[in-house]
Structure 1
């Protein structure tokens, strides 16, 4: 199983990707979350200039945020800057849309978008929104078509599975492991967490800062997919809801997703202090080095081919080093 990393796109992400390459990570994925991040394509272009080996890609793009021509042109540009190193993953927009108050896109839209995107990279004329178009880049403006870049799709349910089978080269997995992932030869699994010292408790300051942002996704996801009742069933869930509900309903999604994958927001802090930290090991890949190693072995047995670790907290180098040491132990 390959060991890769991911970053919630930030101004220092190109430097962190260069560091990940020096440490030995196979690939670096960065998030397409414009409501809290700099542009994903600018970030990847800078990373391409600072690296030579590590794979690069957006993980995941949200189709509705850009016209397919825009993403095709950006993909072609990155493929020229980092030949043989680029892959692109698409998702329906857990944070990239919900943090702006929208619901996820439909799978029929995803299917149509990816087909159009791939056809453009092949150099074909396509129809989108009632108009015919084609990549017309002359020499020196983009690599010659076709541009061959692997495409992965983030899917958990049967509709997403069918779309991925039709238009994808692999399955990009987050939050949970679907039963059908064994049908794919390439399955990156995005995880959060931290490697704890042997005598370290799950309520330590290090655990909160480095494991907490991934742990908080349990509340964000429960709220988005199950509503307040689902959140209240979690340890500390009542405290989390109490904090969120202090925000007016029309802007509540802002309170839910603030700090997403980066730091604990007000509601997350309340839940952590109210006992939510007790489920850190259950909802993230957190534990001692040996415990993390056993979790990775379990993932591989279930069909994961690439573990993708997102470091959190103030010391990115230390988190990347600790995780890689555990993965290779």
Structure 2
């Protein structure tokens, strides 16, 4: 199983990708969350200029954020800067849309968008929003078409699986392991977590900083996908809701997604301190080296071909090194 990493796009992400390459990671995926992150394509371009081997790609692009021509042109540019190293993933949008108050992109739109995007990279003339267009880049402005890059689709349900099977080259999964993973030849699975020392408690400062942001996703996801009642069933859920619901209803999404995948926000911190940390091993890829190795074996048995870890905390380089060491036991 390949071992890759992911980053919530920040100004130091290119430097972290350099470290990941030096350690031997297969690919670095970078999030497309413009409401809280540096630009995904600028960041990948900087990383391409500073690296030679590691694979690079946005994971995942949210179609509604850019015209398909814009993403096609950006893909072409990155392919020129990092030939043979680029992959692209698309998703309907969790943080990339919900943090701005929108729901997920419809799968029918996703399918139309990916067809248009693929056709543009092939150099074809397409129809989009009632207009006719084509990539017209002359020599020196982009690689010659067709431009071939693997396209992964972020999917958890049957509609997404149909799009992934029909239009994708691989599956990009996270949070849960869909039964249909085994139908795909290439499956990248995004995880959060940390390597704990033997006997290290789940409420240690290291566990909080390095795995807490991933743990908080269990609360964010429960709230967004299942509602407040689902949050109340979780340890620390009541404390989390008390803070979230103290904000005006139309602005609560701003507080739910504050520091998403980066640090604990005020609501997350309240839940953590109320004992929510007890679920750390259940909802993240956290544990001793041996426990992580067993979890990775289970992932591989379910069809995962590329594990993707997002490091957190003040020592990203150390987190990258410790995880890779555990993965290679």
Q: Provide, for residues 34-65 of structure 1, a one-character-per-residue CA deviation record: whole Å limited to 9, x for no partner.
A: 00001000000000000000000000000000
Partner of 1:16: 16
Q: Provide, for residues 151-177 of structure 1, a one-character-per-residue CA deviation record: whole Å limited to 9, x for no partner.
A: 010000000000111110000001111
Partner of 1:76: 76
What SS does the aligned partner of 2:96 have? Answer: coil
What SS does the aligned partner of 2:29 have? Answer: strand
> Residues 212-231 of structure 1 correspond to what in structure 2 (within 5 A)?
212-231=212-231
Task: Identify unmatched segments of 5+ residues in structure 1.
Answer: none
> Residues 94-133 of structure 1 correspond to what in structure 2 (within 5 A)?
94-133=94-133
Q: Provide, for residues 86-134 of structure 1, a one-character-per-residue CA deviation record: whole Å limited to 9, x for no partner.
A: 0000000000000000000000000000000000000000000000000
Q: Distance in 2 between matches of 1:265 and 1:178?
A: 29
> Residues 99-178 of structure 1 correspond to what in structure 2 (within 5 A)?
99-178=99-178
Q: Distance in 1 between matches of 2:70 and 2:172?
A: 22
Q: Distance in 2 between matches of 1:80 and 1:273?
A: 48
Partner of 2:282: 282
Is structure 2 residue 179 aligned with structure 1 residue 203?
no
Q: Provide, for residues 306-327 of structure 1, a one-character-per-residue CA deviation record: whole Å limited to 9, x for no partner.
A: 0000000000011001100000
Is structure 2 residue 317 aligned with structure 1 residue 314?
no
Partner of 1:43: 43
What SS does the aligned partner of 2:267 have? Answer: helix
Q: Distance in 2 between matches of 1:116 and 1:150?
A: 15
Partner of 2:252: 252
Task: Identify unmatched segments of 5+ residues in structure 2.
Answer: none
> Residues 317-328 of structure 1 correspond to what in structure 2 (within 5 A)?
317-328=317-328
Q: Distance in 2 between matches of 1:232 and 1:254?
A: 20
Question: Structure 2 length normalisation: TM-score?
Answer: 1.00
Q: Distance in 2 between matches of 1:204 and 1:138?
A: 56
Report the aligned-residue RMSD.
Answer: 0.4
Shift of 1:195: 0.3
Q: Distance in 2 between matches of 1:152 and 1:286?
A: 26
Partner of 1:34: 34
Q: Distance in 1 between matches of 2:148 and 2:302?
A: 29
Shift of 1:199: 1.6
Q: Distance in 2 between matches of 1:59 and 1:85?
A: 14
Q: Distance in 2 between matches of 1:104 and 1:199?
A: 41
Q: Distance in 2 between matches of 1:42 and 1:186?
A: 27
Counting matched residue pairs gives 329
